[in-house]
């Protein structure tokens, strides 16, 4: 159901309620007004006639013209009745011709009330007994009330029609703005984040448009970052494959070829004991070298100690490895034993984030000290990782320029966590990751 339809329906229902209420009040007031007007006219006519009789005796010849004049009075029907019940003819004037419109019968029944019939005995100058009958004739007053009611309901209809027009004109522009916003949202849904909404003259819609434009700008920036990160990841993957291929060719291939040559030499019949010993020692040395190369490659691909001994031992082994390679950098770690019970998908991501942090500290921070802290909270249950160094830091607007930080953020976000960076030039950097634990 559209907004325009709902508004028009509510206006219509409200108008009908007003019509029913106003009609009921109007009929009640009309009925009361007619009763008061007719009763007042009857009482006035009776009093005037009685006063006239008191001034002079009743004479049919003199009084009949006066009754004819009284019979022209609105709301009244005056008659003279003899003792035998005969009605003395009184000329009736046609008042219906002056009426513009006769009210419908249902309206007359609603408005017309019960009016008393006034009877007054009269004795003529000749001793004849007559009965003066004054009856109500409220049709004229009902006609006036009907005309006023027609004007009232006509005004109400015009007011309702004007309200419909005014509301539709007022909402026409607003509904067009809504249509523009909906079309833009449909375009954004398909990934067209460059879609921008125009400025609107209505303040509320303009605020919505600015919020949507800001959202699309953020989505477009995130999409660009994701694309760049994907390309960077693919490039790293290809470089890793190329490096592994090169190491397999240079190290394993050459070493296996040398082992094969020495084995063939040692197997010859003319080779003496000394030659066999030298070949054996060379083969052992080459095998030791191959084992070192394979361990290094395996550690780079996936640290087996993480699966075998847990996250705490792996972190300590990682810090020892970096400390041996960088003796000027002091590394400290605080890690509880509880981290060994974490899920593997969490431990591998935490390990990679710490590994990337240490790489950035060594390459860019020029720090002399770094602190790594892992803590598990219980209300609610969360894992908190913090890596802090005393290096040179950087400006806050340059944080998102590196793929390392972007990759760490994506790793934490993939776990439903929150990743924050605090840094200032020459004041080091602090990286904090909070991950909810089920």
**What are the Cα distances from residue 375, in Å, to 229, 411, 435?**
29, 18, 11
Q: What is the mean pLDDT of residues 168-175?
A: 78
Kindly tell me the burial class for residue 154, based on how many C-beta atoms sit within 10 Å of its own C-beta (0-12, 13-18, 19 or more).
exposed
Tell me the pairing of strands 369-378 and 330-334.
parallel
Residues paired with residue 374 on neighbouring β-strands, in sequence order: 385
Question: 115 and 225 in one domain?
Answer: no
Q: Decide if 7 is inside a domain.
A: no
Q: Decide if 23 is inside a domain.
A: no
- Residue 393 gets the label, from left (phi > 0), alpha (psi -120 to 50) or beta, of left
The pLDDT confidence band at residue 206, using thresholds 50, 70 and 90, is confident
pLDDT tens digits for range 300-339:
677 777 878 889 998 998 899 889 889 999 999 999 999 9
Q: What is the mean pLDDT of residues 196-202?
A: 84
Q: What is the mean pLDDT of residues 349-360?
A: 91
Question: 288 and 325 in one domain?
Answer: no
The share of the chain scoring above pLDDT 70, in percent, equals 78
Which of 161 and 70 is assigned the larger pLDDT?
161
Q: What is the mean pLDDT of residues 11-32?
A: 80
Q: Say what the pLDDT of residue 434 is.
A: 94
Which of 120 and 59 is assigned the larger pLDDT?
120
Q: Decide if 177 is inside a domain.
A: no
Q: Decide if 186 is inside a domain.
A: no
Q: What is the mean pLDDT of residues 273-292?
A: 78
Q: Which of 271, 301, 331 is the last residue of a domain?
A: 301
pTM, 2 dp: 0.49
Question: 126 and 104 in one domain?
Answer: yes
pLDDT tens digits for range 82-108:
777 776 655 444 444 344 567 888 877
Question: 86 and 70 in one domain?
Answer: yes
- For the chain, the domain total comes to 3
Q: Say what the pLDDT of residue 126 is.
A: 64
pLDDT at 133 over 80: no
Minimal CA–CA distance to 386: which of 424, 311, 437, 335? 335
Q: Which of 301, 328, 345 is the last residue of a domain?
A: 301
Q: Say what the pLDDT of residue 118 is.
A: 66
The share of the chain scoring above pLDDT 90, in percent, equals 14
Most confident among 9-18, 55-64, 116-125 (mean pLDDT): 9-18
**Cα(33)–Cα(143) distance, integer angstroms:** 12
Q: Say what the pLDDT of residue 97 is.
A: 39
* Region of poorest pLDDT, from 27-31, 76-80, 427-431: 76-80
Q: Say what the pLDDT of residue 175 is.
A: 79
Which of 74 and 171 is assigned the larger pLDDT?
171
Question: 147 and 85 in one domain?
Answer: yes
Question: 385 and 352 in one domain?
Answer: yes
pLDDT tens digits for range 423-432:
888 888 999 9
Q: What is the mean pLDDT of residues 67-82?
A: 60
Question: 313 and 378 in one domain?
Answer: yes
* Region of poorest pLDDT, from 97-106, 147-156, 205-214: 97-106
Question: 431 and 404 in one domain?
Answer: yes
Q: Decide if 192 is inside a domain.
A: no
Report the interhelical angle of 139-189 vs 203-247 (nearest 10°). Answer: 20
Average model confidence (pLDDT) across the chain: 78
Question: 431 and 330 in one domain?
Answer: yes
pLDDT at 286 over 70: yes
pLDDT at 261 over 70: yes
Residues comprising the chain, all counted: 438
Residues paired with residue 80 on neighbouring β-strands, in sequence order: 88, 132
Question: 318 and 292 in one domain?
Answer: no
The pLDDT confidence band at residue 48, using thresholds 50, 70 and 90, is low
Q: Decide if 95 is inside a domain.
A: yes
Q: Tokens 């003279």 — which residue?
A: 80
pLDDT tens digits for range 178-195:
888 888 888 888 878 887
Q: Decide if 115 is inside a domain.
A: yes
The pLDDT confidence band at residue 374, using thresholds 50, 70 and 90, is very high
Q: Say what the pLDDT of residue 98 is.
A: 47
Question: 136 and 53 in one domain?
Answer: yes
Q: Decide if 171 is inside a domain.
A: no
Which residues, including other chains, have CB under 8 Å from residue 21's CB and lie 6 or more apart?
A: none
Q: Say what the pLDDT of residue 145 is.
A: 78
pLDDT at 232 over 80: no
CATH assignment of the domain containing 318: 3.30.565.10
Q: Say what the pLDDT of residue 387 is.
A: 95
Question: 292 and 311 in one domain?
Answer: no
Q: By residue range, what is the domain housing residue 399?
A: 305-436
Q: What is the mean pLDDT of residues 206-231?
A: 84
**What's the Rg (C-alpha) of the chain?**
53
Q: Which of 301, 321, 342 is the last residue of a domain?
A: 301
């Amino acid at each position: 159901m559209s907004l325009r339809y709902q508004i028009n329906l509510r206006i219509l229902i409200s108008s009908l309620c007003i019509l029913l209420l106003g009609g009921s009040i109007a009929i009640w007031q009309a009925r009361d007004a007619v009763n008061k007007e007719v009763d007042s006219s009857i009482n006035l006519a009776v009093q005037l006639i009685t006063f006239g009789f008191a001034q002079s005796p009743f004479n049919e010849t003199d009084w009949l013209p006066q009754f004819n004049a009284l019979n022209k009075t609105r709301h009244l029907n005056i008659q003279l009745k003899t003792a035998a019940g005969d009605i003395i003819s009184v000329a009736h004037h046609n008042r219906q011709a002056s009426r513009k419109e006769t009210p419908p019968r249902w309206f007359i029944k609603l408005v017309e009330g019960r009016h008393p019939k006034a009877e007054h005995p009269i004795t003529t100058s000749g001793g004849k007994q007559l009965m003066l009958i004054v009856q109500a004739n409220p049709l004229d007053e009902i006609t006036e009330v009907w005309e006023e009611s027609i004007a009232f309901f006509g005004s109400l209809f015009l007011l309702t029609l004007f309200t419909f027009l005014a509301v539709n004109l007022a909402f026409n522009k607003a509904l067009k703005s809504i249509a523009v916003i909906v079309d833009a949202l449909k375009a954004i849904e398909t990934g067209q984040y460059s879609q921008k909404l125009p400025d609107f003259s209505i303040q509320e819609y303009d605020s919505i448009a600015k919020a949507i434009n800001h959202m699309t700008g953020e989505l477009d920036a995130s999409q660009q970052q994701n694309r760049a990160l994907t390309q960077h990841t693919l490039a790293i993957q290809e470089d890793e494959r190329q490096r592994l291929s090169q190491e397999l060719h240079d190290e394993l291939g050459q070493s296996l070829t040398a082992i094969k040559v020495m084995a063939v030499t040692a197997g010859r019949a003319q080779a003496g004991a000394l030659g066999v010993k030298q070949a054996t020692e060379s083969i052992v040395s080459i095998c030791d070298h191959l084992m070192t190369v394979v361990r290094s490659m395996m550690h780079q691909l996936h640290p087996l100690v993480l699966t075998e001994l847990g996250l705490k031992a792996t972190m300590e082994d990682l810090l020892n490895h970096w400390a041996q390679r960088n003796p000027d950098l002091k590394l400290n770690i605080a890690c509880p034993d509880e981290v060994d019970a974490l899920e593997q998908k969490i431990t591998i991501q935490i390990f990679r984030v710490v590994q990337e942090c240490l790489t950035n500290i060594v390459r860019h921070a020029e720090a002399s000290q770094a602190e790594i802290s892992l803590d598990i909270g219980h209300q609610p249950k969360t894992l908190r990782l913090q890596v802090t160094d005393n290096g040179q830091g950087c400006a806050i607007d340059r944080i998102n320029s590196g793929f390392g930080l972007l990759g760490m953020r994506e790793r934490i976000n993939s776990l439903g966590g929150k990743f924050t960076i605090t840094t200032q030039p020459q004041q080091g950097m602090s990286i904090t990751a909070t991950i909810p634990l089920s």
